[in-house]
Amino acid sequence: MRSEILRSTPFRLTVIFGVTFFAALAIAGLIAFGLIERELSQRMDRSITDAFNVISQSFGDSDLTDLTDTVRSHATATLDHDRVYALIDASGAVLAGNVARAPLATGWMTLSSPALGLIAKNDEGQYRVFLGDVGGTRLLIGASFAETTEIARLTLTSVGWASAAILILLLATGAIIAIRAQRRIDGIAVTMARVGHGELGARIPVGARGDDIDMLARQVNVALDRLASLVEGMRQVSVNIAHDLKTPLNRLAITVEAAVEADLKRGPVAPLLEQAEVEIKQLNSTFDALLRIAQIEAGARRARFVQVQLADVLDKIADVYSDVAEESEQTLTVSHEDDLPPIEGDRDLLVQLCANLVENSIRYSPAETQIELLAVRSGDSVLVTFDDNGPGIPIEERSKVFQRLYRIDQSRTRPGNGLGLSLVKAVAELHGAHIDLGDNDPGLRVSIWFPISANK
């Protein structure tokens, strides 16, 4: 669990964010430290200058004693040599003050405590010192860096502590976020494992936050819904197949039984066997159609796609089926725009798609029905419409007629295997075409949009 949290994305993000923040804080601290140091040393210089001016003014009446007293009183008021004062005569001897020695130069300088004859008490014992001439003597005013160093140390320490606190806070937050995210991800993993074990109803709990994990969970749930309905569809198909094939198998068994009986009684056997043969042929063609649809759906056929002119396919359908329609006292008219662009496809399958739809219209419509095929260009597609003014398909049945072996109640009594439209759909989908069942008021209108070949 611990290593899982360390590897989790939220925790890693928090660590990266924390380290970056820490670095930023360190840089900011250093900059602040530099600014403070500069400000402090300027202030120190100003206060030394101020003290020098105050003390040197006490020499206003040219009285060396006053000056000596002032220096002495300042020196005694100073504890721990925080500040140093000295009055030095021309020979270099210290007349008054709290230092033992003084340099001979004048002006600003930084001195260590031994240079002033002092025993270092503070860190490095550095002093900022100003020496100036006052009435034939030199006045030394200085201040220890101890205070500045102390302030700097305080600044650094507080920045350090603040950083540490922030870092700990960040890591803790990261861990909490990581654990919570991990818990939600574990929820997804558990659900997927359940689905993997066949529990297709399992869904990932979706929070109200609507964040990325919730969105992902929702998408996975949608995919699971689709998967479940597909599996349910497949189950339905298997049940339908078993059901639809049991009936003819039963008839076959009865027929064969009857043939055996007839043979025992020396009666005619051939008609019964012929009947059995018809049943077998029908069963076989149902299996063939099922296999064919499965193969088309597998999509391997796409490798053999060539450019196909839908106009040619439609002309062929007109050629073959106008007589067939006429035989059932219906009319078939086929028309298409000139110069229709080609599509990528499989000619044999497209012919079968059109044949299936036209045959459906012929078989399920009464005499006098008008069947019309039309192909036009529509944007990036070639739109082929199959219209008839026959009975049509009730609106509530339209989504179901593409299912394998599904048959509308009115058509159940007629021969047919309930696979014609399934194959139409499989072929349309293989070609990336969109298919729609609509109303022709009255009758059925099937519209199929085939995408135009890209490499024209």
CA-closest candidate to residue 444, choices 358, 336, 337: 358
DSSP state of 207: -
CB-based burial of residue 3 (10 Å sphere; 0-12 exposed, 13-18 middle, 19+ buried)? Answer: exposed
147 binds other proteins (CB under 8 A): no
Q: Which residue, 348 or 380, has its beta carbon nearer to other proteins?
A: 348
B/e letters for 141-163, b = 16+ CB within 10 Å, e = fewer, are bbbbbbebbeebeebeeebeeeb
d(CA 353, CA 334): 15
Instruction: Name the one range near other proteins by CB under 8 A: 13-21, 53-61, 221-229, 276-284.
Output: 276-284
Binding residues for other proteins, rule CB under 8 A, total 34
Binding to other proteins by residue 284, rule CB under 8 A? yes
Structure tokens at 110: 């930084």
**Choices 81-89, 96-104, 111-119, 282-290 (CB under 8 A): range interacting with other proteins:** 282-290
Does 362 contact other proteins by CB under 8 A? yes
3-state secondary structure of 47: helix
348 binds other proteins (CB under 8 A): yes
The reply to whether 45 sits near other proteins by the rule CB under 8 A is no
Residue from 20, 295, 331, 333 in contact with other proteins (CB under 8 A): 295
Tell me the C-alpha distance between 425 and 310, whole Å.
17
- Residue 415 is a binding residue for other proteins (CB under 8 A): yes
Beta carbon of residue 450, minimum distance to other proteins (angstroms, whole number) = 19
DSSP track, 119-153: ---SSS-EEEEEEEEETTEEEEEEEETHHHHHHHH
Residue 300 as a binder of other proteins (CB under 8 A): the answer is yes
The reply on whether position 102 binds other proteins by CB under 8 A is no
Which region, judged by CB under 8 A, interacts with other proteins, from 111-119, 132-140, 142-150, 279-287?
A: 279-287
194 binds other proteins (CB under 8 A): no
Taking the C-alpha atoms of residue 45 and residue 193, their distance in angstroms, rounded to an integer, is 75
Q: Which of 150, 288, 329, 368 binds other proteins (CB under 8 A)?
A: 288
- The nearest distance, CB 375 to other proteins, in angstroms, is 20
* Residues facing residue 370 across a β-bridge: 331
The first and second tokens of residue 286, run together, are 């149902």
φ/ψ of 335, rounded to 5, equals -145, 155
What is the closest distance, in whole angstroms, from the C-beta atom of residue 352 to other proteins in the complex? 5
Closest distance of CB 286 from other proteins, Å: 11
**Rounded to an integer, what distance in angstroms lies between the CA atom of residue 431 and that of residue 425?**
10
Nearer to other proteins, 421 or 433 (CB): 421
Q: In angstroms, give the least distance from the CB of 389 to other proteins.
A: 18
Report helix, strand or coil for 437. strand
Contact region with other proteins (CB under 8 A), list: 16-24, 51-59, 299-307, 368-376: 299-307
Q: How far apart are CA 89 and CA 348, in angstroms?
A: 122
Given the DSSP bridges, would you call strands 83-88 and 94-97 parallel, antiparallel or unpaired?
Answer: antiparallel
Closest by CA to 444, choosing from 376, 392, 373, is 392
| 372-411 footprint of other proteins as x/- string (CB under 8 A) | ----------------------------------------
Q: Write the DSSP symbol of residue 240.
A: H
Closest distance between other proteins and the C-beta of residue 264, in Å? 8
| Contact of 362 with 325, CB cutoff 8 Å | yes
For other proteins, which stretch binds (CB under 8 A), given 31-39, 52-60, 176-184, 293-301?
A: 293-301
Residues 253-272 that bind other proteins (CB under 8 A): 260, 263
Q: Which of residues 315-344 bind other proteins (CB under 8 A)?
A: 316, 319-321, 323-324, 327
Check binding of 274 to other proteins (CB under 8 A): yes
**Min dist. Cβ of residue 367 to other proteins (A):** 14
Residue 321's Cβ-side half-sphere holds a number of Cα atoms within 13 Å equal to: 27
Contacts of other proteins in 221-260 (CB under 8 A): 260
Cα dihedral 106, 110, 114, 118, rounded to 10, equals 80
CA–CA separation, 362 vs 367, rounded Å? 9
The least distance separating other proteins from the CB of residue 288, rounded to whole angstroms, comes to 5
| Residues at the site binding other proteins, with contacts judged by CB under 8 A | 260, 263, 274, 277, 280, 284-285, 288, 291-292, 295-296, 300-301, 304, 316, 319-321, 323-324, 327, 348-349, 351-352, 355-356, 359, 362-363, 415-416, 420
